[in-house]
Copies of this chain bind each other. A is one copy, B any other.
């Protein structure tokens, strides 16, 4: 049932920082919260129309020459109220779907080198993110002296920082486990069917051993 709207509150959040066009919103999201949020034009423009229809924002057309008119949206009192209501509602957890982990789960059926190169790619990606989060963090901490509210922004950046740190640590660990596994399997050679069968019984065993229904359904 739930499946609550996410784009609308996101747009209201951005509009709560000042009047903006759809184009501005997209750019500002990318620049400020791009590490944990994104909106495409295909979401933004239709949503803005709805937001105006519901009285949560107003539009003002500003003619330009050579370009399409700017349509500047401004949040209304009702919009502020709607945003606050959303802020006070418990957040839904993000859906979980991680392709790399799925590949690893049946990883013995792949060439170890391929998995290793996937991990290397990930590691490089997270390393560069780590640097950027560090820069961002230093900037915000400096600004907090004048503007205590910068702390809210900082919290989101810290989330990203701790997240990439953990992922990076995992990449390194996984790579070293993979190396070990490569050696172990070279020694005693078993055919894929036999290995598959053993994984299959491991699954059954896991369910018996780990009490009710092992890992969490979600939440």
Residues of B contacting A133 in the complex (Cβ-Cβ under 8 angstroms)? 215
Question: Out of B6, B147, B206, which one reaches A32, CB within 8 Å?
Answer: B206
In the complex, whether A42 has a CB less than 8 A from a CB of chain B is no
Complexed CA–CA distance, A171 and B29 (Å)? 23
A153 touches B202 (CB 8 A): yes
**A24 vs chain B, min Cβ distance (A):** 11
Tell me, yes or no, whether A107 is within 8 Å of chain B by CB: yes
By a CB distance below 8 angstroms, the chain B residues around A36 are 96-98, 101-102
Contact A90 B102 (CB under 8 A): no
Q: Indicate if the CB atoms of B196 and A17 lie closer than 8 Å.
A: yes
Complex interface residues of chain A between 180 and 219 (CB less than 8 A to chain B): 180-181, 184-185, 195-200, 202-203, 205-207, 209-210, 213-219
8 A–B contacts from the bound complex (CB under 8 Å): A17-B196, A30-B213, A31-B203, A88-B110, A136-B206, A149-B195, A150-B199, A163-B166
